[in-house]
Structure 1
Amino acid sequence: MNADKNTGTVSAKDAWYPPSRRDWFILRQLVSKDFKLKYRRSTLGVVWSVLNPLLMMLVMAAVFGSFMRYNDPSLGNYAVYLILGNTAFQLMSDATNQGMCSIIWASSLLKKVKINRYVFPVQKVLFAGVNYGFSLIAIALVMIVERVPLTWTAALMPFALVTLVVFCIGLSLLLSALSVFFRDVIHLWSVVLTAWTYATPLFYPFKILPHWMQVAEKFNPMYIYITYIRDVILYHTVPSAGMHVACLGFALVALGIGYAVFHKNEHKFILYI
């Protein structure tokens, strides 16, 4: 029995259940399935997860480093600067784009099986995280070619990645809930991501921004996460306590809002998918 369309009551089938071994098993199976589907009938297979960030870095380095002369010595090694920013932002973009549609795509399964619905957006974020893991190989190759050393500060990078993944889970929960009721969210999010890309110093130096935008960047979560990653990998510095608090704060706020909206509305998903 599903939620009543008029009263919105929740039946046993549609109630929320605490995470179980079954949920973790389903998460692993879904991530594995997506991984196999992504590279099915591909000659190079998983190698594309390494080649894509490398090729994107080469194109952007040629365009912005040479033509637009953003190759500022103050940025450090520009190739590493680019690939660190691009791969982190791509993780967020892939995770939220996939997570946003996860409930809609799983409609046939949700109508047949009793399962915690949050599994689907979380699974998409974890899959994006797996792909990001392969992009670390591309980052390592660029650092070797450009002779950028890896120091002990790199040990802090997992903190940025874990909080970034939690941030993406929160966004995906929020977007997946909204997109069930308002399909326009799917189209709007692509516009938001485009604007967010250019509003974040991925390929240009922070200092070229006007003062008001420099102040606004403090409220840009992706700028915070990317700056943290660049600090520990490229600049070999330990981020300030404020940076640690900001990374954790953005992650927890996003997760709290995303979960609250998702949990409040998930019993009605079955009526709209």
Structure 2
Amino acid sequence: MATTEEQRLTYQQATWNTGAKRDIAVLQELVRKDFKLKYRRSVLGIVWSVLNPLLMMLVMAVVFTHFMRGADMPANVYPVYLIIGNITFGLMSSATSDGMWSIINAAPLLKKVRVNRLVFPVEKVLFAVVNFALSLIAVALVMLVCQVPLGWQAIFLVPFLVYFLVFCIGLSLLLATLAVFFRDVIHLWGVVTTAWMYATPIFYTLDLLPATLQGLMKWNPLYQYVDYFRTCVLYQQVPSLEANVMCVLMAVVMLAIGLLVFRKNEHKFILFI
């Protein structure tokens, strides 16, 4: 009997390993495909991942420097403050918007091939992270031009990326599920992300808000992640234990909600796509 049980466990482990390897291979191929499609027929190609945040930062810096910059922030620091907020918001916006469409766009494949549906939203988030990593070159260039030093605390970008990646995956899973059954979510999410951007100190500083709103800001996930990034890169400080706990908690809760909703409804996707 023990031998039979051992054989069953061995078979399950082998099956899981095979499935995991197949999912990883699919993820790699999808990311590679999206990367090629994004820059196809583009003269500058991958350079746009650096130029886009730079150009956006320049426009917003010209517009907002004189009335959105806090009194305590030096003029040379504001462009770095601005570009960090921009690329962090851009990662979330790109990951969730593309993740929301992932199941619907994969309909032809899902109807023909048996594949783990979870792969498609996750791949969109990973692709957004690749572009985000390239955008860090733009951050480095702005810091160099503005003479803002980079300290060893920048190593905390690693946990930041892990936290934010998990959060975006959870949110993308939730949105991908809702979009399959309610197409209105696709149109509504654009409004939500715009409102979320204005509700987060991306281009303005926290001290410009009333004390009540400053207190509420700690419950804004996007603010927590943007502030974490700025703390370790711009302010050259080690993020506090509270900041790490809040980021981890928000990431885990979002992932749990996204996975629960996705797994509970994925068997019905084929009927609605």
Aligned residue in 2 for 1:205 = 205
Alignment of 1:253-264 (within 5 A): 253-264=253-264
Contact in 2 for aligned 1:75/1:81 (Cα 8 Å): no
Do structure 1's residue 120 and structure 2's residue 127 form an aligned pair? no
Equivalence map 1:116-265=2 (5 Å): 116-265=116-265
SS of match in other structure, 1:259: helix
Answering whether residue 68 of structure 2 is matched by residue 70 of structure 1, we say yes
How many angstroms apart in 2 are the aligned matches of 1:171 and 1:45?
29
**Distance between the aligned counterparts of 1:26 and 1:120, measured in 2?**
9
Amino acid at match of 2:230: R
1:86 equivalent to 2:86? Answer: yes
Q: Offset at 1:75?
A: 3.2
Cα distance in 2 between the residues matched to 1:22 and 1:52: 34
Gaps in structure 2 of 5+ consecutive residues: 1-15
User: Secondary structure at 1:268's aligned position in 2?
Assistant: helix
Tell me how far 1:73 sits from its aligned partner. 4.8
Query: What are the Cα deviations for residues 207-228 of structure 1, in whole angstroms up to 9, with x where unaligned?
Result: 1112221122111001000001
* Alpha-carbon displacement from aligned partner over 1:48-98 (angstroms, at most 9, x marks no partner): 0000000000000000003xx223352350000000111001000000000
Distance 2:124 2:38 in 1: 13
Deviation at 1:238, TM superposition (A): 1.2
Using the alignment, how far apart are the partners of 1:174 and 1:216 within structure 2? 24
1:145 maps to amino acid:
V
CA distance in 1 between partners of 2:37 and 2:197 (Å) = 28
Q: Secondary structure at the match of 1:235?
A: coil
Q: Which residue of 1 aligns with 2:4?
A: none
Moved more, 99-108 or 205-214: 205-214
Instruction: Provide the TM-score with structure 1 as the length reference.
Output: 0.91
Q: Distance in 1 between matches of 2:22 and 2:32?
A: 15
CA contact (8 A) 1:180 1:269 kept: yes
2: CA distance, partners of 1:73 / 1:139: 23
- Write the distance in 2 (CA, Å) between the matches of 1:222 and 1:70: 19
Q: SS in structure 2 opposite 1:149?
A: coil
Bigger proportion of residues as helix: 2
Deviation string, structure 1 residues 130-189 (Cα, Å, up to 9, x no partner):
000110000000011111111111011111111101100000000000100000000111
C-alpha deviation, 1:113, in angstroms:
0.6
CA-CA distance at 1:260 after TM superposition = 0.1
Deviation at 1:235, TM superposition (A): 0.6
Rounded to whole Å, the distance in 2 between the matches of 1:173 and 1:241 is 28
Partner deviation per Cα, 1:30-54 (whole Å, 9 max, x = no partner)? 0000000000000000000000000
Distance 2:90 2:53 in 1: 9
Q: What is the rounded CA distance, in whole Å, between the counterparts of 1:145 and 1:33 in structure 2?
A: 35
Question: How many residues get paired?
Answer: 255
User: Which letter does structure 2 place at the counterpart of 1:34?
Assistant: D
Seq. identity, % = 60
Contact kept? 2:70, 2:208, Cα under 8 Å = no
Distance 1:265 1:215 in 2: 37
What is the root-mean-square deviation in Å for CA atoms of aligned residues? 1.1
Helix, strand or coil at the partner of 1:75: coil
| 1:206/1:214 contact within 8 Å kept | yes
Aligned partners of 1:182 and 1:202: how far apart in 2? 30
What is the alpha-carbon distance in structure 1 between the residues aligned to residue 33 and residue 101 of structure 2?
17
User: Hey, what's the Cα distance between the residues in 1 that align with 2:104 and 2:73?
Assistant: 42
Runs of 4+ in 1 over 4 A off after TM superposition: none
Give CA-to-partner distance per residue, 1:223-259, whole Å, 9 cap, x none.
0000011011011111210000011111100000000
**Gaps (5+ residues) in structure 1?**
1-16
